[in-house]
Structure 1
Amino acid sequence: MKNKYRILKIAITVILLGFLLSFSLKKFGGQKITDNKISVKMNEKTPVYFIDEKDIRAIVNKENPSGKVGDLNIPALEKKINSLPAVDSANVYLNLNGKLNLDIKQRVPVFRLNKDGKDFYVDERGIEFPISRTYSHPCMLVTGSVKKDEYEKLAELVGKIDKDDFSKKYFIGISKDNNGDYNLLTSEGNYKVEIGDLDNIDLKVKGFKAFVEKYLVYQDPLKYNMISIKYQNQIVTTLNPYFKGNDSILKVGKLELAKVPPTTAGKNTEAKLKIAEVKKETKKPSSTSKKPKESTKPKAVTKPKAKETKKTEKKTTATKPKTKAKVKIE
């Protein structure tokens, strides 16, 4: 009998608790979510304003027209906010006092990419999202056909530039040319810094920094058209042809190029001087008058002809020749 009384007491207690709970839930569900009971927090380290509190409140009112707690579908509301392109993450929850909390983290652009005539932002994780009509975030501008698998490395490069005072002062943009090489656009002069691929960025920027501090600071920034640091352990510069100070250097370069004759296939047309073999003729002593056989003027002969001589000829090796050397131009 005692057991029956205990079971009956437990059953009555559960029924009472269920009744009270249902009554409380009904009362709680009938509460209105007023504007002062909606708390919106933006949790970005870098402040951005792609969406504001007003936009979030409008979404809440649209998803819950009645404004009652019982009619609010929290998972659906959270999914709706997360679907916004500029939102990185959203967390929606209710307090026991009926206060609706929305913790939102927006995407922070690392660079703005102009690709195929379209502009959009890219965050640190390499995710694209469209630009806003009401807000423009200050960030690095990148142009060219950048592949999606390069977004993260490019974002890492921009992050390093933003953290370094020297790089931030010099580099204001990045472009990718048709050869697939990346170039850093500078704030001084009209030159660009060619870095090639996105590997070994720290070493490349360090090399450019050394070049600037030891040499470029003493030069006119308009002197160069390009400074290449893509090669290992060397810096290659290209002069600006429109800078007056480069006229003398460019003229010397043109003269040096003019001295080099064009080459043709199968033949080397360089002028070479060859010293013909000097032969010494032995003569018998005679009392007759000495007359020169032929003039010693060089003749333009394509092929040397061998002459028959009745007298013996000896090649001179160590002794100096008495007769004049013949010069032949091929």
Structure 2
Amino acid sequence: MKNKYRILKIAITVILLGFLLSFSLKKFGGQKITDNNISVKMNEKTPVYFVDEKDIRAIVNKENPSGKVGDLNIPALEKKINALPAIDSANVYLNLNGKLNLDIKQRVPIFRLNKDGRDFYVDDKGVEFPISKTYSHPCMLVTGNVKTDEYGKLAELVEKIDKDDFSKKYFIGISKDNNGDYNLLTSEGNYKVELGDLDNIELKVKGFKAFVEKYLVYQDPLKYNMISIKYQNQIVTTLNPYFKENDSILKVGNLELAKVSTPAPAKKTEAKLKIGNVKKETKKPSSTSKKPKEGTKPKATAKPKAKETKKTEKKITPAKAKAKVKVE
């Protein structure tokens, strides 16, 4: 029974509203909609000016040339306003006194993206809409091949930067390189902050903030080309080669790299051992010497031996060269 009474009450309410609406339309159907009878409200929290009240009134006049309340097609007018790229939502309705009300909510850009030669805005819902010729909204500039599925995380990053006074002071732009890594552009110096992917954003920004407060504030901002915070629990810095004070540091680094790249020298002890063995082998008397005749005294062979040793020493010299080549 209770459900029947509720249904009956709802039906009676709808009938009464319909009757009042039809009565008001008959009463104000021939009445013209003047500027005083049009109420335009912009309901966005952040003030934006892509579409102003003047533009909305112009659309109303265009959609209703006669200007009469009875000739106004409210659903068509609402659809026309919602079709504007910078409009998030529009609600159009008439009061019982014949006053036309338009509640307008515009899109608020989170960042401005320059991608593939195109320049457009992206709101907090990840919706793209074109820039205006008459109004430029102040927001974070992003460049690079950013994919549409990354708009949500990128919007979260920009919102966190805007809410934090430190980050808002340091970061003025975001770029995505060819490797797919995100970089934060800074307002001080010529260095950029390598962010990597869009995961663990809050932790990465906190790490950079600690690095700035404890170290970077005491350094010349032109000292670095890049400060990387994409690695977990560590910060990697890249020096600026055109900064004069970095010359000595870079020279030391180059020398260390040169030491590592040079091959290890060959061991000299092995070469000496091999050459020594060759000498011992060459000092042995040759087996081809002539035997003395019978009945004759053997002649002293001291001098020939000396000659033989000289000859053998001359023969040793190429052996030395061969030994050195093998060792190297």
For 2:198, the equivalent position in structure 1 comes to 198
1:270 maps to amino acid: A
For 2:56, the equivalent position in structure 1 comes to 56
State the shift of 1:28 in Å: 2.0
1:152 maps to amino acid: G
Distance 1:21 1:200 in 2: 55
For 1:3, the equivalent position in structure 2 comes to none
Distance 1:158 1:201 in 2: 10
State the shift of 1:260 in Å: 2.8
2:245 maps to amino acid: G
Kindly report which structure 2 residues correspond to 1:163-202, keeping only aligned pairs within 5 A, or say none.
Answer: 163-202=163-202
For 1:242, the equivalent position in structure 2 comes to 242
Question: Residues 69 and 98 of structure 1 are in contact (CA less than 8 Å); yes or no, is this contact kept in structure 2?
Answer: yes
TM-score by length of 2: 0.76
Distance 1:23 1:45 in 2: 37
1:166 maps to amino acid: F
State the shift of 1:119 in Å: 0.5
Q: Structure 1 or 2: larger helix share?
A: 2
Distance 1:244 1:71 in 2: 77
For 1:270, the equivalent position in structure 2 comes to 264
> The residue matched to 1:260 in structure 2 has which SS?
helix
2:265 maps to amino acid: A
Question: Residues 91 and 103 of structure 2 are in contact (CA less than 8 Å); yes or no, is this contact kept in structure 1?
Answer: yes
Number of aligned positions between the proteins:
269
Distance 1:101 1:248 in 2: 72
> The residue matched to 2:261 in structure 1 has which SS?
coil
2:251 maps to amino acid: K
For 1:162, the equivalent position in structure 2 comes to 162
Kindly report which structure 2 residues correspond to 1:96-107, keeping only aligned pairs within 5 A, or say none.
Answer: 96-107=96-107
State the shift of 1:273 in Å: 3.9
Aligned sequence identity (%)? 86
> The residue matched to 2:208 in structure 1 has which SS?
helix
Offset from partner CA, 1:268-292 (integer Å, 9 cap, x none)? x42254756xxxxxxxxxxxxxxxx
> The residue matched to 1:202 in structure 2 has which SS?
helix
Kindly report which structure 2 residues correspond to 1:71-90, keeping only aligned pairs within 5 A, or say none.
Answer: 71-90=71-90
Question: Residues 183 and 192 of structure 1 are in contact (CA less than 8 Å); yes or no, is this contact kept in structure 2?
Answer: yes
Offset from partner CA, 1:13-69 (integer Å, 9 cap, x none)? xxxxx9999776433211111110000000010000000000000000000111111
For 1:46, the equivalent position in structure 2 comes to 46
State the shift of 1:261 in Å: 3.5
For 2:134, the equivalent position in structure 1 comes to 134
2:30 maps to amino acid: G
Kindly report which structure 2 residues correspond to 1:1-330, keeping only aligned pairs within 5 A, or say none.
Answer: 25-261=25-261, 269-273=263-267, 305=278, 307=280
2:71 maps to amino acid: D
Distance 1:20 1:151 in 2: 47
Distance 1:21 1:192 in 2: 62
Q: 1:247 to 1:24 in 2, by over 3 A?
A: closer
Question: Residues 261 and 270 of structure 1 are in contact (CA less than 8 Å); yes or no, is this contact kept in structure 2?
Answer: no
State the shift of 1:237 in Å: 0.3
State the shift of 1:302 in Å: 8.5
2:264 maps to amino acid: E
Question: Residues 78 and 90 of structure 1 are in contact (CA less than 8 Å); yes or no, is this contact kept in structure 2?
Answer: yes
Q: 1:22 to 1:100 in 2, by over 3 A?
A: closer
Distance 1:30 1:300 in 2: 121
Q: 1:97 to 1:19 in 2, by over 3 A?
A: closer
> The residue matched to 1:270 in structure 2 has which SS?
coil
- Greater shift, 61-70 or 299-308, is seen at 299-308
Instruction: Give the CA RMSD over aligned residues.
Output: 2.6
Question: Residues 21 and 96 of structure 2 are in contact (CA less than 8 Å); yes or no, is this contact kept in structure 1?
Answer: no
Distance 1:177 1:20 in 2: 62
Question: Residues 111 and 142 of structure 2 are in contact (CA less than 8 Å); yes or no, is this contact kept in structure 1?
Answer: yes
1:223 maps to amino acid: K
1:121 maps to amino acid: Y
Question: Residues 110 and 123 of structure 1 are in contact (CA less than 8 Å); yes or no, is this contact kept in structure 2?
Answer: yes
Distance 1:37 1:71 in 2: 15
Question: Residues 24 and 96 of structure 2 are in contact (CA less than 8 Å); yes or no, is this contact kept in structure 1?
Answer: no
Q: 1:167 to 1:300 in 2, by over 3 A?
A: farther
State the shift of 1:115 in Å: 0.6
1:233 maps to amino acid: N
1:271 maps to amino acid: P
For 2:294, the equivalent position in structure 1 comes to none
State the shift of 1:258 in Å: 1.9
